[in-house]
Structure 1
Amino acid sequence: MSSAATMFAQSFFHGTRADLKPGDLIVVGYQSNFTDDKPLSWVYFAATLDAAIWGAELAAGSGPGRIYVVEPTGPIVDDPNVTDKKFPGNPTLSYRSRDALRVIAEVTLWQGHPAERLQQMRENVARLKAEGADIID
């Protein structure tokens, strides 16, 4: 690949409530933003800003939602929680890795979903949890 083509490299995003800085690593072994289950053995991220916005808005905690541009430090795979269970293929461009994500920058100008749409999504997440179907693989 020529150096001119690198300006078109894929960007990846991670939505959370964690306060991170460029150079920080997002690593496995921490609690999920969405469940109280055991610590995760994967880190999750997406190539669409919309998916990261959902992550930031739905993440547990009381801090503000944050979105980071991240760089995988190792191999990545499609996120089966979205691709296999909810949508054929990977239209949300959601991924996971067992290796760390390096924070490159914070996305500071983003618009959240309308309040009524966010409430619907929160109700869906609560319903899945109540049904025992909120498992993150």
Structure 2
Amino acid sequence: MSGFWAAVREVWLEAPLKYTITLLGLSGFVGYGFYNYYVRGGKLRQQHHYAIATVYKTHWSLKSGKFADSRYTVLGREYEVSADADKLAGQQLVGRRFIVEFYPPDPTIDYLRLDIPVPDSIRAAPPGGWAQPPFYWPGD
């Protein structure tokens, strides 16, 4: 056994429960990141529709900054989505409307686009959302 692995084994045996819990926690963190990006994000990248989300509150997190909480409706059912709003700090967000992308078979897989405000000329989204963007926006 190499010197490195012998040292790892020695340290591990000093406090096995502590290191086992740490390893399981890190594995869970990496696993959730993998699931969120590749599984949920993959579905959203493959097939998505667009709806209008209205911000109903904002809140601050000590570690992550400002967040915007919003609601949107798909086929008569209301869903909630939050997004990091640090780039819009200092702006009044409550009551403003933004585009939300969602996965039609499971609208809980969603992404709030705080960079794409909905113009006042668009009153509401169709019940199942738009298959194509309802208006032009640069980027993407």
TM-score greater than 0.5 by the shorter chain: no
> What interval of TM-score do these two structures reach, taking the shorter chain for normalisation?
under 0.3
Larger radius of gyration: 2
Q: Which has the higher helix share?
A: 2
TM-score, normalising length: structure 2: 0.24
TM-score, normalising length: structure 1: 0.24
